[in-house]
Structure 1
Amino acid sequence: MTVSDPPDTPPIVDLVSTDIDATRELTASFFGTLVMYEPPARPAGFRFGVRGIRLGPLCVSRVTSDYPSHWIAPGVNSLYVLVMPRTGGVRMAQSGQSGEAVGGGDTAVTLSPLAPTYTTYGAGSSAVDVMIDHQAVRAELEEELGRPVRAPLALPRGLRMTGPARAFARQAHMLAAELDAAGLGPSALDRPRVRDSLGAALLTTFVHTLPHQYSDDLARPAPSPAPRQVTRVMDAVQADPAYPFTAADLARIAGVSVRTLQRGFIAYMGMPPMAYLREVRLQRAHRELQVARATDTTVTDVAYRWGFTLPSRFAGYYRDRYGVRPSDTLQG
């Protein structure tokens, strides 16, 4: 699944169909690898509707299903998905866990990235769906926390959109209502900068208001500035991450012993200095792979350029960090 915006793809999709094949084709083009199960028999009462809009790294949709419809995202799912039913019910399953939400209340169901997902919309159901690219969530978390984030958000499969989460629900429903109105005449959603701004705001609200393992850290006051010895090393690494730094090199830059620098980095960054160096190298390699083409470079070349002398180890680090192989990111 993806919310990337291919060239010539309109930001808004609007589909109401009684044809299963047409529904499958259009939803796949908009939502990526989302696939509808083939029913055992073509139901006479099948009718499925989706009206959705891309807002930067996320998508907000209003989905209606008159007949039970079943969907699967096989392989690696790259999205966080949150569904808030207004009528009927929605059930989601992933990695042996499932959740169910029904309309008329304040319940929602969620899916996490990097595992196959299964979704069922009940007969007569309508829902507001939000899909968010997991890399955008990671980047937002890292910017807010000031440190690398390794594990995806551990969201509850089913949750109540009360308390702080109510703010996210209100924003999503407001966008769905604006999306409905956009088909009736000129709308602010016609403007790319407005769409990007609204998407960024919803992303920030998602990270800050839904319950997950980083919630307590986000609620704490911002930390005091890093010790001077740590910032010296961070500046040196950011300036030239491909340089073959050793632990002793970094300690000399900081003007302290290796053990003292190690303690300072773990206290402030939550990782040793050499792990920080690897994280920065991975980020730079990832950015290059995103814009490079397989006809112009190779994964091995990119790995070497950013200081990874063992391409196989780089591939392992990369998959742990981004959930895909480097070759999956490098476009043909």
Structure 2
Amino acid sequence: MDEEVGTEATPPPFRGAVHGDDLDAARELYEAQYPGEGFRLDQLDRPFDYRYAAVGDGDVSLRTSEFHGSARGTADAVPEYVVSWLVDGRGTVDVGRDEVALKPLVPRIAPTRAYSFDFADYRQRLVHIGAAHLERLAAERGDVASGPVTFFHAAPVAESALQRWRAVISETTPVLLDLAAPPLLRAAANRRLALAVLETFPHAVGPASSVALASVAPGGRRVALAVEFLHEHAHEPIGVAEVARAADLSVRGLQVALHRALDVSPTALLRQIRLDRVHADLTVATPETTTVGAVARRWGFAHLGRFSASYHERFGEHPSVTLRG
């Protein structure tokens, strides 16, 4: 974990766990952790009990939730970004809208707006990223000018991206679990994990993205579909026509919609996404394991001179510097 760490002070670490078999106590706990409305807990066909544990700090924390019962309700938008995966049990998020039925051991990012949920008899692992921490890194990357990041929670995530996510989780977890870890090491782990969220889960990019894609104007969902398709298939030799079909638009309609929403063309947006993937790969690699040229070619950049110039313009450094760490 040799990413450059900012000068912001790392929040003090914490560790805590709560467990019991009282429905009212469980409701109070979960309503505090995930504010919302209509929170309903019920006992099923076995004795009710729960356990909730968290370790980390205000920027990044790892959590576990075990719940023998059912839980339904609506979670409000909160100043955090949450990635979770089931170990077992059942869970559905964004019920009645863009529903996602969670699958065991498949990470998903929670909606970045209020959403309904329905869980039963489950064990869940979660990663909470503080909004200020993730949004600062998103601005550094050029994903947004400032402010919230709009994630497409229902978009599929490529298996290659999930493999990279799991590798980052494996590497950073020992540091986050260690309350005595040196502050610089913890800060590096926090940064690494927050960047992995941005690199793994599809989200809107561009200075106007969060405003444009949150709009309820007709066509906004089609823009989101186009962006989701680009993220999901960035590793494939796709063309503008394929993106347009995925968004149910003509090629010209796609170009106009992306220009209005994000002030970018389809090919330029795909290039940005692929540059981000190169940056992610170089960040976790070393000169002993790969070369800049190999990574660039893997993401479709055949002309290394033009690639290097574009990379420097987007990230403020040459790719060889990123690789050397």
The TM-score range, normalised by the shorter chain, is 0.5 to 0.7
Deviations 1:35-60 (A, max 9, x none): 78233679862111122123442322
What is the CA deviation profile of residues 277-326 of structure 1, one whole-angstrom value per residue up to 9, with x for unaligned ones? xxxxxxxxxxxxxxxxxxxxxxxxxxxxxxxxxxxxxxxxxxxxxxxxxx
SS of 1:171's partner is helix
CA contact (8 A) 1:94 1:116 kept: no
Aligned CA RMSD, in angstroms, stands at 3.7
Q: Does 1:22 align with 2:25?
A: yes
Q: CA deviation at 1:84?
A: 1.0
The alpha carbon displacement at 1:211 in A equals 2.6
Counterparts of 2:71 and 2:12 in 1: how far apart (Å)? 25
The residue that corresponds to 1:316 in the other structure is none
Match of 1:73 among 72, 75, 83: 75
Aligned to 1:51: 53
Q: Which residue of 1 aligns with 2:4?
A: none
C-alpha offsets along residues 104-145 of structure 1, whole Å, 9 cap, x if unaligned? xx52332232x212333321x212112223343322121112
Runs (5+) with no aligned partner, structure 1: 1-7, 227-332
- Choose 1 or 2 for highest CA Rg: 1
Say yes or no: does 1:222 pair with 2:222: no
- Specify whether residues 24 and 196 from structure 1 end up closer, same or farther in structure 2 by C-alpha distance, changes over 3 A only: farther
Q: Which amino acid aligns with 1:77?
A: V
Q: Distance in 1 between matches of 2:193 and 2:39?
A: 30
Aligned to 1:153: 150
Q: Is the contact made by 1:15 and 1:50 (CA closer than 8 Å) also made in structure 2?
A: yes
Q: What is the CA distance between 1:34 and its match in structure 2? A: 5.7
Q: Give the corresponding residue for 2:193.
A: 202
Structure 1 residue matching 2:66: 3-state secondary structure = strand
List per-residue Cα deviations over 1:178-220 (Å, max 9, x = no partner). 77xx5xxxx3556554433322110011112323343642532
Q: With the length of structure 2 as denominator, give the TM-score of the two structures.
A: 0.52
**2: CA distance, partners of 1:22 / 1:129:** 21
How far off its partner does 1:163 sit? 0.6
- Tell me: higher relative CO, structure 1 or 2? Use CA pairs within 8 A at least 6 residues apart: 2
Q: Which runs of 5+ in 2 are unaligned?
A: 1-10, 206-230, 232-269, 276-309, 316-325
**C-alpha distance in 2, partners of 1:9/1:223?**
35
SS of the aligned residue for 1:127 comes to strand
For residues 81-92 of structure 1, what are the structure 2 equivalents within 5 Å? 81-92=82-93
- Distance change (3 Å), C-alpha of 1:68 and 1:41: closer
1:73 CA drift (Å): 2.1
Paired residue total:
207
Q: Return 196-205 or 137-146, whichever deviates more.
A: 137-146
Which residues in structure 2 correspond to 1:1-332 (within 5 Å)?
11-29=14-32, 31=33, 33=35, 37-39=39-41, 45-74=47-76, 76-93=77-94, 96-103=97-104, 106-113=105-112, 115-123=113-121, 125-145=122-142, 148-149=145-146, 152-157=149-154, 159-160=156-157, 162-172=159-169, 187=178, 192-214=183-205, 216=270, 217-220=272-275, 221-224=310-313
State how far apart, in whole Å, the 2-side matches of 1:120 and 1:189 are: 37
Aligned identity (percent) is 11
Q: Could you say what secondary structure the match of 1:224 adopts?
A: helix
Given that 2:142 and 2:314 are in contact with CA atoms closer than 8 Å, whether structure 1 keeps it comes out as no
Separation in structure 2 between the aligned mates of residue 108 and residue 174 of structure 1, nearest angstrom: 16
Distance 1:22 1:147, change over 3 A: closer
State whether residues 130 and 172 of structure 1, in contact with CA within 8 Å, keep that contact through their aligned partners in structure 2. Answer: no
CA distance 1:34–1:49, change in 2 (3 Å): farther
Q: 1:211 to 1:195 in 2, by over 3 A?
A: same
Distance 1:175 1:19 in 2: 34
**Is this contact kept in 1: 2:63–2:126, CA < 8 A?**
yes
- Matched with 2:247 is none
Which residue type is aligned with residue 39 of structure 2?
Y
